[in-house]
């Protein structure tokens, strides 16, 4: 092989290597752009988070637990009960029961246990959705209770503030007492 052919072969080899390097840099640039401009899901401020959960293929019925109000005026829900049963029903008052459950990202949701338009009080978890037992409306546990289908999608159970302390979910009873339906 002559010097010219050897030179051209080396030149082609270098061009191929350069193309590979440019392609790899391009892929890295795209990856960095996606990471910078498509933010990760933000955690809800003040919320309690446990491990992520996948409810695919599961059906979990509500479990009733007693309503306990402590001397500070806080409704107490044992965190262990929510972890054990998946979704709990707390009959704080006949018209303002509470529910507590975990969304797929591990966020604990505490809400007034009412599907306001249809007046349903009971829910279940089925295939990554919260389902009203009265009307069948479904809200996504993957997407912060965004409505999936049914007649009441705009009204998931209304979440209320809480704190977790010493293994107990604490809800201010005054907030629950003052709660009014959105419809």
On whether both 162 and 115 belong to a single domain, the answer is: yes
Helix, strand, coil percent content, the chain, rounded in steps of 5: 25, 30, 45
Q: Which pLDDT score, from 0 to 100, does residue 41 have?
A: 56
Torsion sign across C-alpha atoms 103, 52, 160, 81 = positive
171 part of a folded domain: yes
Question: Does residue 72 share a domain with residue 21?
Answer: no
> In terms of C-beta distances under 8 Å and separation of at least 24 residues, what long-range contacts does 79-86 make, across chains too?
79/48, 79/108, 79/164, 79/167, 79/168, 79/169, 80/167, 82/108, 82/169, 83/50, 85/60, 86/60, 86/125
Structural domain contains residue 53: no
Residues 108 and 160 in one domain: yes
31: domain range?
A: 1-40
Domain count, the chain: 2
pLDDT for res 177: 97
| 103/17 same-domain check | no
Residue 52 included in any domain: no
CA gap 28, 43 in Å, rounded = 27
- Tell me: do 10 and 66 sit in the same domain: no
User: Is 49 inside a domain boundary?
Assistant: no
Residue 107 has a pLDDT of 97
**What is the structure's pLDDT at 22?**
83
Q: Does 159 reside within a domain?
A: yes
CATH number of the domain within which 135 lies: 2.102.10.10
Q: Are residues 16 and 68 in the same domain?
A: no
- Does 132 share its domain with 80? yes
* Residues 16 and 98 occupy one common structural domain: no
Q: What is the pTM of this model?
A: 0.77
* 19 and 67 part of one domain: no
In a domain, 45, yes or no: no
Instruction: Please list the pLDDT of the chain residue by residue as tens digits (183 residues).
Output: 666 666 656 666 677 777 888 878 778 777 666 666 655 556 777 799 999 999 999 999 999 999 999 999 999 999 999 999 999 999 999 899 999 999 999 999 999 999 999 999 999 999 999 999 999 999 999 999 999 999 999 999 999 999 999 999 999 999 999 999 998
Query: 63 lies in a domain?
Result: yes
Same domain, residue pair 151 and 107:
yes
Asked if residue 139 belongs to a domain, the reply is yes
């Amino acid at each position: 092989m002559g010097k010219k052919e050897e030179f051209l072969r080396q030149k082609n080899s270098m061009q191929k290597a350069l193309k590979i390097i440019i392609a790899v840099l391009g892929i890295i640039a795209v990856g960095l752009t996606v990471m910078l401009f498509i933010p990760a899901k933000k955690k809800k401020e003040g919320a309690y988070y446990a491990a992520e959960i996948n409810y695919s293929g599961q059906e979990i019925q509500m479990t009733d637990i007693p309503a306990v109000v402590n001397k500070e005026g806080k409704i107490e829900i044992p965190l262990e009960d929510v972890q054990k049963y998946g979704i709990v029903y707390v009959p704080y008052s006949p018209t303002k029961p509470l529910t507590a459950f975990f969304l797929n990202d591990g966020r604990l949701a505490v809400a007034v246990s009412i599907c306001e338009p249809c007046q349903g009080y009971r829910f279940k978890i089925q295939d990554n959705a919260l389902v009203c037992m009265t009307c069948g409306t479904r809200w996504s546990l993957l997407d912060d209770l965004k409505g999936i289908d049914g007649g009441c999608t705009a009204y998931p159970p209304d979440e209320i503030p809480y704190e977790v302390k010493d293994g107990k979910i604490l809800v201010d009873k005054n907030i629950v007492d003052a709660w009014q339906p959105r419809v």
